[in-house]
Structure 1
């Protein structure tokens, strides 16, 4: 496919509102977006897109909270806690579920949030150096170095699985982790047709409806995931990056797993 000449103005056009047209053109270019001539601007467009995604996620969270949606696993843990009082086995299951919950991604963890907080702190210090007595400067510098590791992790990921789609790189740079698991206390009343379907007859409460809804969830790119991929790579095993579990494993349900992956 013939490459665009220099001066294509993709980012400028995208910022002017030509979101779909610009993205379609970049997709049509295929692997050419990784060429030196085009890569920087294609990545800039993708980052701009992911900043819009972040705004949309924040808007959705606010609207869901307004309509009474409850994020998280507290209700499911409470139900498991009630069962735990009946036998040692159920108590072990409750503890296992608690450990599992602690490993799940938060409702939203913007990749740039801590970076923005650090920039704001540094701005305050520049305006009033006397505020330095309230800030651990060493810890601040350490946190800045930690934030740089996200980009390094993506680079390592590319070394293992090959070129990472620009949308994936920009996601972890701008958004990172999200988890819409939860429930609505009046789900049955809002959508009574749920319980008229045969496949829903096993559900005993509204809190279990999310098991079949496959909530929006993407896990953070952490050292454990990178280490697992690297181990497979060194053993010449097929490498794939799991960025989200399937709908059942998102809700601590057993059985076979078909996670969302690329590789």
Structure 2
């Protein structure tokens, strides 16, 4: 197999074409002749995503946004915790436990970190209903607990359910509360990644299923809040938040 100069083309702005080609490869993207280049594309994506997240946190903070827990206590939360040195070990552990994980997910874990944009906007009180971006893979909000232990227990629960109902579908690694839980309302299953998946960016399961990078682009086009929610100021606020963010 020969690669298609994906990194250079990605940098030139041919991002959609590059993702399309890489997705068509499926797990063949892990061929030794392709893997390094494909992973480099995902690393570029992750660095652009991190830029966007840092920009969103800065803009929201300047607007008086309060980042807090999705419960009645509204405990202050740090909205972005950059990836730490243990992130590479988490990638190794996930693949040992659940099989291959998408290359884009590996890049996110190693180069981005945990993001939590749940909170309250002073001019858009319903912002929590707009499905704010949350991706938590390192468990930084709960340092006293083991994120590996949490993922393992979720897998055990899925295995038990799959035994009773084989049509239950593949395991979904939970990385975010669903839209309703983010708004402190009883909701449905968490958002996450279908595993195992040896492809480029895998399927991210939210309100709908889509490739992870497609989901992130949707989020950033909407300033971190991809779902429609009440509030007359939402269009102006989203536009201001999304201005200048990088397409992935």
Q: Partners in 2 of 1:233 and 1:220 — Cα distance? A: 15
Q: Which has the larger radius of gyration?
A: 1
- 1:36 paired residue among 11, 32, 37: 32
In structure 2, which of residues 57, 77, 80 is the aligned counterpart of residue 108 of structure 1?
80
| Of 47-56 and 18-27, the range deviating more from structure 2 | 18-27
Q: TM-score, normalised by structure 1?
A: 0.59
Candidates 98, 101, 105, aligned match of 1:168: 105
What is the alpha-carbon distance in structure 1 between the residues aligned to residue 59 and residue 138 of structure 2? Answer: 27
Within-5 A mapping of 1:114-263: 147=85, 149-187=86-124, 206=125, 209-222=126-139, 224-231=146-153, 236-237=159-160, 239-253=171-185, 255-262=186-193, 263=195
Distance 1:233 1:181 in 2: 26
Q: Structure 2: give runs of 5+ residues left out of the alignment.
A: 140-144, 163-170, 196-248
Number of residues of Structure 1 aligned to a counterpart in Structure 2: 179
Maintained 8 Å contact 2:178/2:187: no
Q: CA deviation at 1:167?
A: 1.2
| 33 and 20 in structure 1: CA distance in 2 versus 1, 3 angstrom threshold | same
Residues 1:225 and 1:249: Cα distance change in structure 2 (over 3 Å): same
State the 1:242 CA deviation.
Answer: 0.4
Aligned to 1:72: 67
1:211 to partner: Cα distance: 4.0
List runs of 5+ in structure 1 lacking aligned partners.
Answer: 81-96, 115-146, 188-205
In structure 2, what is the Cα distance between the partners aligned to 1:214 and 1:231? Answer: 26
Q: TM-score, normalised by structure 2?
A: 0.62
Choose the corresponding residue for 1:63, options 56, 59, 66: 59
- Superposition CA RMSD, Å: 2.8
Output the CA distance in 2 between the equivalents of 1:108 and 1:216.
11
SS in 2 for 1:178: strand
The structure that is strand-richer by fraction is 2
> Residue 117 of structure 2 contacts residue 133 of structure 2 at CA under 8 Å; is this kept in 1?
yes
Deviation per residue, 1:115-158 (Å, 9 max, x gap)? xxxxxxxxxxxxxxxxxxxxxxxxxxxxxxxx1x2111111111
Farther-moved stretch of structure 1 (21-30 vs 45-54): 21-30
Structure number with the higher helix fraction is 1
C-alpha contact (below 8 Å) 1:11/1:41 kept by paired residues:
yes
Distance in 1 (alpha carbons) for counterparts of 2:172 and 2:99: 10
How far apart, in 2, do the equivalents of 1:231 and 1:178 lie?
22
Higher RCO (CA 8 Å, separation ≥ 6 residues)? 2
